[in-house]
Amino acid sequence: MRTAYTADQIRGAERTLMARLPEGTLMQRAAAGLASVCAHLLGQVYGSRVVLLVGSGDNGGDALYAGQRLARRGARVVAVLAGSKTHEAGLRALLDAGGRVAGPGDTREIDAADLILDGLVGIGASGALREPYARLAEQAGAAPGLVVAVDVPSGVDASTGRVEGAAARATVTVTMGAYKTGLLVDPGAKFAGRVELVDIGLAPYLPEPDVAALGRDDVAGLLPRPGAESDKYRRGVLGVAAGSHLYTGAAVLAVGGALRAGAGMVRYAGAEEPVAQVRAHWPEAVITQLRRPSVDDVGRVQAWVLGPGLGTDEWAHELAASVLASDVPVLVDADGLTLLALDSALLRRTAPVLLTPHAGELARLTGADRADIEADRLRHVRAAAAELGVTVLLKGSTTLVAEPSGAARVNVTGSSWLATGGTGDVLSGIAGALLAQGLSTYDAASCGAYVHGLAGRLAADGAPLTAAGVATAVPAAIRTVTSGSTLAENLPSRSRER
C-alpha cells in the first residue's frame, strides 16, 4: 500500500528525526538520493548540462548539494539563484565542485540544459508562485530537457494537489521520506510525472497517513475468491436497476461489468427495451421485465446497482425509491445520482450506500461549483462523504474514494483512454459485484476502481477502447492482480471515467 501525507505531517516527522541526528544529515541524505536519480536519468553524467533552479528554502539546499555531486562526476552545473537568500553551505559546496552561478534573469542555460532541477519551493509553500519563480517554472516546463522536481513540483500544493497559476511540470519528482498527498491527487499529480521515493529514515516517525493507494497485493487480498463450497448464491447475487428506452446500452454494460467481475448471479430489472438488449447480450442474467416501478418481485439480492441510463422521470424516481427501500447495500450512479440531487429524502436509509459521481454530478449533489471540485478534489469528496453519510467514489482524472469518517484512498491504475462513454457503467457493475460478494462499500469502491482501471489499460494497450472492451478485459485484470503480475504495479496513466 502506498501511503501519503500532508505537509504538516511530514514536517512534524522531520522535526522529530532531525532532533536525533547531526545537523545537515537529512539534507545530505536527500541530496544523495536526488543526485542518484538524476544520474540515472542522464545516463552519462560527464559532460551533461544541468541547471539548478534554486529558491530560498531547504529545497534549494537539496538542489545545490545534488548539483555538487553531479559536478564532481563531470556535469556542467549552473545554479540559477532565484530566492532572496541562498543556502550558503550548499552554494559553497557547488562552487568548490566546479559549478557556476547565474541570476534569475539569466535563463539562457535553461533551454540548453539536459536536465533541470526544480528546487524553487518546497512542501510548505501554498498559493500561486510569485516572480521570478512563476516565470522560471514555466520556462522549465517549456524547455526540451528533463525536469526533476525536488520533493514536489513548484506551484503544486503538497497537501492537496491544488495548482493556482504557474507550476513546474516535472518528468520525475523525487520526493523525500514519504509520498505527499498532492503528488497522488490531480491536478498536482499531472505535474509530478513519475514519482521516485527516497528513504531518508522518516518512516518510524510518520503518523496515520492522510490518504492511501491500494497496491496489487492489497487488492489481491481483498478480492473474493470462490471456495470448494461456493455456489452461485454464496458468490453473491447482484440486482441491477438500470437502462431505459433511451439508454439501453447502460444496462448492458453494467450487467456485463458485474458478470465479468465474478458475481454469482445478476438479476436485471428494467423496462422492455433494455430487457431485450440485456437478454441478447447476457443470457446468464436472470431478467425481470418490470410492469411497474418496483423491485418487490425481482427476487433476493445481496446488493443493488441503481441508476446507469435509468432516466429521471417519475417512473425512474419510483423505481429508485423501491431499490433504496431495500435492506442491502446500494451503489448509485449516473441518473440515480440526479434523482438523489432532486430528492435527497431518497438517501434516508440505514443500509450502506456507495455513490459514484463525476465532478458535475457531485456538484449537483452538494451545491459546490464543478470547477472548485476539480481544483480541490480530495477536500470535496471528503466533505460530500461526511455531509451525506455515505461512501463516495469521485471519478475523474484521479479517482478518489472517501468515507464519512474522513478516510480516503486514491486509485493509481487506469488509462486516459477510459475517457469514453459507458466506462462508468462498467465500473458500477464491477463495484456492485464486489458489494454483492461481501466487500464493504469502501473496499468495493477501492478494489472496483483498481480493477476497472487495470482493465482499461489492458483493453487500450496504447490505442482507443470501448466500454464493452473494458468489460471484456475485467477477468484478465483480476487474473493480473491475483497472479502477482508486475503490470499492476507499474506507474500507470491517469484515468478518467465517464
Each residue's pLDDT tens digit, 46-87: 999 999 999 999 999 999 999 999 999 999 999 999 989 999
Q: Is the model's pLDDT at 494 over the cut of 60?
A: no
Cα 244 from Cα 254, distance rounded (Å): 13
The candidate with the shortest Cα–Cα distance to 145, out of 122, 121, 120, 169, is 169
The candidate with the shortest Cα–Cα distance to 377, out of 231, 199, 181, is 181
Q: Is the model's pLDDT at 384 over the cut of 80?
A: yes
Angle between helices 248-260 and 423-436 (to 10 degrees): 40
Q: If pLDDT is split at 50, 70 and 90, which confidence band does 418 have?
A: confident
Q: Is the model's pLDDT at 434 over the cut of 80?
A: yes
Angle between helices 25-42 and 58-72 (to 10 degrees): 50
The candidate with the shortest Cα–Cα distance to 33, out of 58, 76, 69, 61, is 69
* pLDDT the model gives residue 493: 39
- CATH 3.40.1190.20 positions along the chain are 216-489
Q: What is the mean pLDDT of the chain?
A: 94
Q: Is the model's pLDDT at 378 over the cut of 80?
A: yes
Cα 222 from Cα 214, distance rounded (Å): 10
Annotated binding site for AMP: 395-399, 424
Cα 157 from Cα 10, distance rounded (Å): 13
Q: If pLDDT is split at 50, 70 and 90, which confidence band does 230 have?
A: low
* pLDDT the model gives residue 492: 39
Q: If pLDDT is split at 50, 70 and 90, which confidence band does 231 have?
A: low
- What would the grid cell of residue 434 be? 464486489
* pLDDT the model gives residue 491: 40
Mean pLDDT check: name the lowest of 195-199, 323-327, 462-466: 462-466
Cα 213 from Cα 189, distance rounded (Å): 13
- CATH 3.40.50.10260 positions along the chain are 2-209
Cα 344 from Cα 396, distance rounded (Å): 24
* pLDDT the model gives residue 107: 78
Cis before 187 (ω within 30): yes
Annotated binding site for (6S)-NADPHX: 58-62, 122-128, 133, 151, 250, 309, 358, 425
The candidate with the shortest Cα–Cα distance to 367, out of 398, 340, 345, is 340
* pLDDT the model gives residue 347: 95
- Work out the average pLDDT over 204-209: 97
Q: Is the model's pLDDT at 437 over the cut of 90?
A: yes
Q: If pLDDT is split at 50, 70 and 90, which confidence band does 105 have?
A: confident
CB count in 10 Å sphere of residue 273: 16
Q: Is the model's pLDDT at 489 over the cut of 90?
A: no
130-165 residue pLDDT tens: 999 999 999 999 999 999 999 999 999 999 999 999
Q: Is the model's pLDDT at 498 over the cut of 50?
A: no
The candidate with the shortest Cα–Cα distance to 450, out of 498, 496, 413, is 413
Annotated binding site: 58-62, 118, 122-128, 133, 151, 154, 250, 309, 358, 395-399, 424-425
* pLDDT the model gives residue 372: 96
Q: Is the model's pLDDT at 487 over the cut of 70?
A: no
Annotated binding site for K(+): 59, 118, 154
- Work out the average pLDDT over 477-489: 78
Who contacts 481 (Cβ-Cβ below 8 Å, separation ≥6)?
Answer: 216, 219, 220, 223, 450, 451, 454, 488
* pLDDT the model gives residue 245: 94
Q: Is the model's pLDDT at 174 over the cut of 60?
A: yes
Give the residues across from 146 on adjacent strands. Answer: 115
pTM here is 0.92
Query: Could you give the percent of the chain with pLDDT greater than 70?
Result: 97
Fold topology of 216-489: UDP-N-acetylmuramoyl-L-alanine:D-glutamate ligase (3.40.1190)
Q: Is the model's pLDDT at 486 over the cut of 80?
A: no
Give the residues across from 402 on adjacent strands. Answer: 392, 408
Q: Where are the alpha helices (DSSP H) in 261-334?
A: 272-281, 314-324
316-330 residue pLDDT tens: 999 999 999 999 999
Who contacts 56 (Cβ-Cβ below 8 Å, separation ≥6)?
Answer: 83, 84, 85, 86
Query: Could you give the percent of the chain with pLDDT greater than 90?
Result: 89
CATH placement of domain 2-209: 3.40.50.10260
